[in-house]
């Protein structure tokens, strides 16, 4: 017997379906209505507080400024990378990856509520002065950075080239703060350096990801591959690379991959999923690679490292990266304001979240300065492992000392060493195009170890063929 044959039964089924629909709609509407009521009640409370302060606070208040500060606090409570931007900060944000601007050349973030250097940009005033990844900025031009917004700190450090800015730095292994007077300069937009370490072994250094990075990487590879000796191995150096443009990170990873996922971006639900994969219709060089990372490698550089590691294209060497694996968007608002907030997380091809975890290297190697003899041969460069955990010495800063004393119990072992500044200088000659010196680079223990691995791989290949 069909439904058509029994109109009464069909009518009963229709009534049941309608009832279920009404119940479901009522439940959904009830949930939405409850949320609206909750938001409305919260806004009424906010309005009551504003009115009370306007009427009875001991001094007159600027209501517009008060509301702006309230919004800043609300957005800042979400995560360190979300912020409410006034018009001047929104304008500054738009020139970070386009055009030239004056500054000292550091990328900063909030970590454990401290204004922290992610990495200095190579060749800039901050880099040349010896500022390092993980340094905490305690003062800018004498003003404490406690409770300072990221955009406020950026605004104070940027300025006309040739002008000065004073900053105070807290460093884990130092007794007192370090004070720097830096002269602002035009921040360079080129991001790639390269040379041949030894015949057949290339070194490619990417300092950040800007609009033309992929083009620069391709050009550098072609130059090395066109040498007298075919390229038999490549070291890709992403240490102290604070990141940059997502599309450039994807394109750089794609240069070395012929298949597989590069990165996935996931939002609140599965509908907000984007996945980027390597393009198969191109030539990909198959020489072995070692990729270098450290605590200053963040965001876009972590995407490249994760992609090449999970696709078994490169051995990752160094120390754990920064762990900035979230995606931000900027929405313009009325009156020139903007909202920068987190909308998703990055995931490596194997499904690992980069956020707060970072990329863990396949081979952990701390940075050291090797003596010149050790850097010349394959049997040199064996670095003695030491306990690098530093006990913080008394630190004095009226605004931040108490918080930093609490922080010492949370500090993890970092790739710091007394020679840290000296290590940074090993790449200086490479930054100046005219005076690159491979032997200087091989004094860096991580570069030396990477070269040894590539050379050893070539030797073992020869053994297996014979």
Query: What integer is the mean pLDDT of 228-245?
Result: 94
> Which residues, in sequence order, are CB contacts of 399 under 8 Å at separation 6+?
138, 144, 146
Identify the band that residue 7 occupies on the pLDDT scale cut at 50, 70 and 90: low
Specify whether 384 is located in the same domain as 258. yes
Specify whether 225 is located in the same domain as 277. yes
* Mean pLDDT, the chain, whole residue set: 82
**Residues forming a β-bridge with 445:** none
Calculate the CA dihedral of residues 203, 208, 210, 213 and round it to 10 degrees: 10
User: What CATH number should be reported for the domain holding residue 412?
Assistant: 3.90.226.10
> Which residues, in sequence order, are CB contacts of 363 under 8 Å at separation 6+?
315, 316, 317, 449, 453
Specify whether 174 is located in the same domain as 207. no
**Residue 349 lies inside a defined structural domain of this protein:** no
Regarding predicted confidence, which is higher, 235 or 462? 235
What are the angstrom distances between the C-alpha of 414 and each of 280, 291, 384? 38, 19, 16
Specify whether 272 is located in the same domain as 408. yes
**Residue 91 lies inside a defined structural domain of this protein:** no
User: What CATH number should be reported for the domain holding residue 114?
Assistant: 2.30.42.10
Q: Is 203 helix (H, G, I), strand (E, B) or coil?
A: strand
**Residue 23 lies inside a defined structural domain of this protein:** no
Comparing CA positions, the residue from 173, 134, 133, 112 lying closest to residue 391 is: 173
**Residue 47 lies inside a defined structural domain of this protein:** no
Examine the residue annotation and report whether 324 is marked as an active-site residue of this protein.
Answer: yes
| Chosen domain end from 129, 159, 186 | 186
Specify whether 222 is located in the same domain as 119. no
Which pLDDT does position 30 carry in this prediction? 55
Domain count, the chain: 2
Single out the catalytic residue among 110, 128, 251, 324: 324
Range of the domain at 311: 192-323+358-465
| Chosen domain end from 147, 169, 186 | 186
**Residues forming a β-bridge with 244:** 209
DSSP class of 353: B
CB 129 within 8 A of CB 428: no
CB 4 within 8 A of CB 10: yes
Report field, pTM of the whole predicted structure over 0.85: no
Specify whether 421 is located in the same domain as 319. yes
Specify whether 173 is located in the same domain as 107. yes
Single out the catalytic residue among 83, 194, 264, 299: 299
Query: What integer is the mean pLDDT of 230-250?
Result: 94
What are the angstrom distances between the C-alpha of 21 and each of 17, 32, 368? 6, 16, 69
Angle at 182 between CA 179 and CA 187, to 5 degrees: 135
Examine the residue annotation and report whether 310 is marked as an active-site residue of this protein.
Answer: yes
Residue length of the chain = 466
**Residue 239 lies inside a defined structural domain of this protein:** yes
The residue behind tokens 């509520």 is 113
**Residue 60 lies inside a defined structural domain of this protein:** no
CB 95 within 8 A of CB 101: yes
> Which residues, in sequence order, are CB contacts of 129 under 8 Å at separation 6+?
180, 182
The pLDDT tens digits of the residues spanning 323-378 come to: 999 988 889 999 999 999 999 999 999 999 999 899 999 999 998 888 765 555 43
The pLDDT tens digits of the residues spanning 262-298 come to: 999 999 886 678 999 999 877 778 899 999 999 999 9
- Given a cut of 70, whether residue 414 has pLDDT beyond it is no
Specify whether 203 is located in the same domain as 180. no
Specify whether 179 is located in the same domain as 269. no
- Given a cut of 50, whether residue 384 has pLDDT beyond it is no
Query: What CA–CA distance (Å, rounded) separates 416 from 420?
Result: 6
| Chosen domain end from 131, 162, 186 | 186
Specify whether 278 is located in the same domain as 157. no
The alpha-carbon radius of gyration of the chain (Å, integer) is 27
Specify whether 212 is located in the same domain as 132. no
Query: What integer is the mean pLDDT of 413-441?
Result: 59
Specify whether 458 is located in the same domain as 427. yes
The pLDDT tens digits of the residues spanning 134-184 come to: 899 999 999 999 888 888 998 899 899 999 999 999 998 787 899 999 999
Looking at 2-6, 114-118, 240-244, which range is the least confident one?
2-6
Query: What integer is the mean pLDDT of 66-73?
Result: 92
Angle at 69 between CA 65 and CA 71, to 5 degrees: 115
Which pLDDT does position 65 carry in this prediction? 92
Write phi, then psi, for 445 (nearest 5 degrees).
-60, -35
CB 273 within 8 A of CB 266: yes
**Residue 230 lies inside a defined structural domain of this protein:** yes
Single out the catalytic residue among 237, 254, 310, 415: 310
**Residue 300 lies inside a defined structural domain of this protein:** yes
Identify the band that residue 429 occupies on the pLDDT scale cut at 50, 70 and 90: low
Beta-carbon count within 10 A of 15 CB: 10
Tally DSSP H helices, then E strands, for the chain. Answer: 13, 19
Query: What CA–CA distance (Å, rounded) separates 341 from 432?
Result: 38
- Given a cut of 80, whether residue 389 has pLDDT beyond it is no
């Amino acid at each position: 017997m069909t439904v058509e044959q029994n109109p009464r039964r069909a009518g009963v089924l229709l009534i049941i379906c309608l009832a279920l629909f009404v119940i479901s709609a009522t439940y959904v509407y009830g949930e939405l209505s409850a949320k609206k009521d909750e938001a409305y009640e919260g806004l009424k409370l906010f309005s009551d507080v504003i009115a009370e302060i306007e009427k009875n606070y001991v001094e007159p208040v600027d209501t517009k400024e008060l509301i702006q500060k309230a919004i800043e606090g609300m957005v800042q409570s979400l995560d360190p990378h979300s912020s409410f931007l006034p018009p001047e900060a929104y304008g500054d944000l738009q020139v970070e990856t386009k055009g030239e601007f004056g500054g000292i050349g550091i990328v900063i973030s909030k970590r454990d509520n401290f204004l922290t250097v992610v990495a200095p940009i190579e060749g800039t005033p901050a880099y040349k002065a010896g500022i390092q990844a993980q340094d905490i900025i305690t003062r800018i031009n004498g003003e404490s950075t406690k409770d300072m917004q990221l955009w406020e700190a950026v605004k104070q450090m940027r300025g006309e080239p040739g002008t000065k800015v004073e900053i105070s730095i807290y460093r884990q292994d130092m007794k007192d703060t370090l004070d720097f007077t830096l002269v602002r300069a035009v921040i360079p937009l080129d991001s790639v350096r390269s040379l041949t370490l030894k015949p057949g072994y290339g070194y490619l250094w990417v300092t950040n990801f800007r609009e033309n990075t992929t083009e620069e990487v391709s050009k550098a590879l072609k130059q090395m591959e066109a040498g007298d000796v075919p390229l038999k191995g490549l070291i890709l150096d992403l240490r102290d690379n604070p990141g940059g443009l997502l599309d450039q990170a994807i394109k750089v990873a794609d240069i070395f991959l012929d298949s597989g996922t590069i990165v996935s971006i996931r939002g609140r639900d599965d509908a907000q999923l984007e996945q980027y994969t390597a393009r198969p219709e191109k030539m990909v060089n198959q020489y072995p690679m070692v990729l270098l990372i450290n605590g200053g490698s963040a965001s876009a550089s972590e995407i490249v490292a994760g992609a090449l590691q999970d696709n078994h294209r490169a051995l990752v060497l160094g120390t754990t990266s920064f762990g900035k694996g979230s995606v931000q968007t900027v929405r313009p608002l009325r009156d020139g304001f903007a909202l920068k907030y987190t909308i998703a997380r990055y995931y490596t091809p194997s499904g690992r979240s980069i956020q707060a975890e970072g990329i863990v290297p396949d081979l952990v190697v701390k940075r050291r300065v090797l003596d010149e003899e050790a850097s010349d041969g394959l049997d040199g460069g064996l670095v003695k492992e030491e306990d690098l955990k530093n006990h913080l010495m008394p630190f004095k800063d009226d605004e931040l000392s108490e918080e930093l004393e609490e922080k010492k119990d949370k500090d993890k072992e970092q790739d710091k060493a007394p020679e840290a500044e000296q290590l940074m200088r090993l790449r200086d000659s490479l930054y100046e195009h005219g005076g690159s010196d491979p032997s200087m680079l091989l004094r860096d223990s991580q570069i030396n170890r990477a070269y040894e691995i590539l050379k050893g791989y070539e030797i073992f290949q020869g053994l297996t063929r014979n």
